[in-house]
Structure 1
Amino acid sequence: MMKIGFIGTGLMGLPMAKNLLKSDFKLKVFNRSIKKAEPLKEFGAEISKTLGEVVKDNDFIITMLTDDSAVDAIMSNSDLLENLKSGSTVIDMSSVKPTTATKYGNSLKSKNVNYLDAPVSGGTIGAEEASLAIMVGGEQSVFDNSINILKAMGNPTLVGPIGSGQVSKLANQIVVGVTIGAVAEAIILCEKAGADPVKLIKALTGGWADSKILQTHGKRMIDKDFTPKGKTFTHLKDMNNILECANSYNTHLPISNLVKEMYKTLVDNGHGNTDHSSLYNEIERINKK
């Protein structure tokens, strides 16, 4: 049986780890605040108190962390590095810069440890339903050896060498961010002009404008329910990473830049912890000027 160490049991990590346990993988879990990992005990997980403990003797290590600084703190920790098993595979499912993935992919290779960058899309619902889109960067053979683990959490696709998973996630976040903005504008226009936005969503179902974002985020906007599923400050981080990545290839993304500025204003005005569909509120604010 493949033995897995899972680091980071937050909003996304907890249901992902739960799905691995449901697929009968042997799992050790670690989270900085142990309390967040405790619920996995009843599903058969072993709770680790240190990084060394969670990686020791395990064939696969999965990390699901907030951002680059959290990944840096874990991946450069001597307790983790000294206890990694030779020939094991680290799968980082966090959303970070492509350069971060490349950096750790190369440094782990020198220790005879394989690496995949495998960020996800689908939010907490996708994590719970094991239907996440998983974009993977790395070697084909390492991907093939990890496929059953990844399939327990969603639908993995190898898109290229190390770093490509993160580039794909950035591309994903362009589509998500821009589409959230488009849906918000469509709903606001209906509200201002007296058309029923609920019926708008129904009318667009099955047409070219239909999408998961129209159906789910559109409803959140109509209900004014911005309880976080994907946080605004996280999407701002993604938009900044998108523009940094594009800039390094001398590529201009004018629409992404506009969306980034709107997310930045939201965060600056204290709305960082609201759902990223609250881009609706920023467009509302602009209209109240």
Structure 2
Amino acid sequence: MRIGFIGLGLMGGPLARNLIRAGKNVLVYDLKEEAVDRTLEAGSTGERAASLSDLAGCELVFTSLPLPEHVKGTMLGDDGLYAKLSQGATHIELSTIDPGTANDLYAAAAAKGIGYIQCTLGKTPAHAEKAEEPMFIGGDKALVDKYQDIFKIIGIPNYVGSIEASCAVKLISNMIGMTNVAVLAEGIRVGEKAGLDRNQLLELLSDTGARSFQMDVRGPWIAADDFKPRFAVDLAMKDVRLGLEMARAWNLDLKAMEAALKYFQKCSESGFGQEDCNAVCKIVGE
């Protein structure tokens, strides 16, 4: 089986490398040549695609792209990959996208006789590199079962039922996580006003109800003024925005998460959009 993989960024690259390490024949494509080069270092079964059209003969194609419009632009339309794949091929979509976009892709794929699986990802690039990434998989159960061996190579599969559920799990995770980052930044700022050293404050809070994944991971980065982009402000803002659009469509008013979105929007507008989402601390209290 020949596998196509589009998008070799922080999340896609590790998953593509896992497939290559497992000896799978993987044809990879990314606009950044250095991302392709790094992925191909994983093993001899990886191959560079000169263009998206080169993936037309693949039985299975993964996409891992930043925005919903990037996925739609790649797969849909007269020049999109759905128009070039053979009937019976399958598209596994790994990006963080909204349910509406996922359903549009599913319908377009079905019209061409192509299978569609939504598979969102739960943790970090470091987990992805070690094939320890939780995956929230939605779509036709028989089709998902067909690729269980592939899923087990790249991460930890969890079947959640519908395509909508797959999108929702990731968006909910990121809405909660990024709201936690905003609240953490607020707490650290209050501690500074009280004269507390950042590291001491984090140590004291680690044995209280304030402790969270984001505090454990991003708290020390904030304390060290480390804003290298593990998960950039602009991506965080995108995910929270998509999640809130999903919630509003279901007539839910999520006030805390709406407030967090405003923080990330202001952070991006202040010029910090390409820094890690912990850079939200720079605009807290302004």
Structure 1 and Structure 2 fold alike (TM over 0.5):
yes
Describe the SS at the equivalent of 1:269: helix
**Cα pair 1:132 1:155 within 8 Å, conserved:** yes
Describe the SS at the equivalent of 1:65: coil
In 1, Cα distance between equivalents of 2:277 and 2:39:
28
In 2, Cα distance between equivalents of 1:53 and 1:270:
38
In 2, Cα distance between equivalents of 1:210 and 1:152:
32
User: Which residue is equivalent to 1:67?
Assistant: 67
Describe the SS at the equivalent of 2:267: helix
**Cα pair 1:34 1:49 within 8 Å, conserved:** no
User: Which residue is equivalent to 2:139?
Assistant: 138
Q: Deviations over 1:45-104 (max 9, x none)?
A: 100111121241x22110000101111110115352233132221101011111010011
Describe the SS at the equivalent of 1:69: helix
In structure 1, what residue type is equivalent to 2:263?
M
User: Which residue is equivalent to 1:173?
Assistant: 174
CA distance change for structure 1 residues 159 and 185 in 2, over 3 Å: closer, same or farther? same
In 2, Cα distance between equivalents of 1:41 and 1:279:
35
In 1, Cα distance between equivalents of 2:283 and 2:53:
44
User: Which residue is equivalent to 1:76?
Assistant: 76
Q: Does 1:17 align with 2:16?
A: yes
Q: Does 1:100 align with 2:101?
A: yes
**Cα pair 2:73 2:80 within 8 Å, conserved:** no
Which piece of structure 1 moves more, 161-170 or 61-70? 161-170
Which piece of structure 1 moves more, 222-231 or 190-199? 190-199
Alignment of 1:161-200 (within 5 A): 161-200=162-201
**Cα pair 2:82 2:114 within 8 Å, conserved:** no
User: Which residue is equivalent to 1:26?
Assistant: 25
Q: Deviations over 1:244-268 (max 9, x none)?
A: 1111111111011000001000111
Q: CA offset at residue 206 of structure 1?
A: 6.2
CA distance change for structure 1 residues 269 and 196 in 2, over 3 Å: closer, same or farther? closer
**Cα pair 1:198 1:219 within 8 Å, conserved:** yes
Alignment of 1:140-159 (within 5 A): 140-159=141-160
User: 5+ residue gaps in structure 2?
Assistant: none
In structure 2, what residue type is equivalent to 1:59?
E
Q: CA offset at residue 195 of structure 1?
A: 3.0
Describe the SS at the equivalent of 1:152: helix
Q: Deviations over 1:79-133 (max 9, x none)?
A: 5223313222110101111101001111111222111111213232222232222
**Cα pair 1:55 1:61 within 8 Å, conserved:** no
In 1, Cα distance between equivalents of 2:283 and 2:167:
28
CA distance change for structure 1 residues 149 and 223 in 2, over 3 Å: closer, same or farther? same
**Cα pair 1:123 1:132 within 8 Å, conserved:** yes
Q: CA offset at residue 27 of structure 1?
A: 0.7
In 1, Cα distance between equivalents of 2:176 and 2:7:
26
Which piece of structure 1 moves more, 123-132 or 58-67? 123-132
**Cα pair 2:176 2:257 within 8 Å, conserved:** no
Q: Deviations over 1:146-191 (max 9, x none)?
A: 2222222222212121222111111111111111122222222222
Which piece of structure 1 moves more, 102-111 or 73-82? 73-82
In 2, Cα distance between equivalents of 1:270 and 1:203:
32
Cα RMSD for the two superposed structures: 1.8
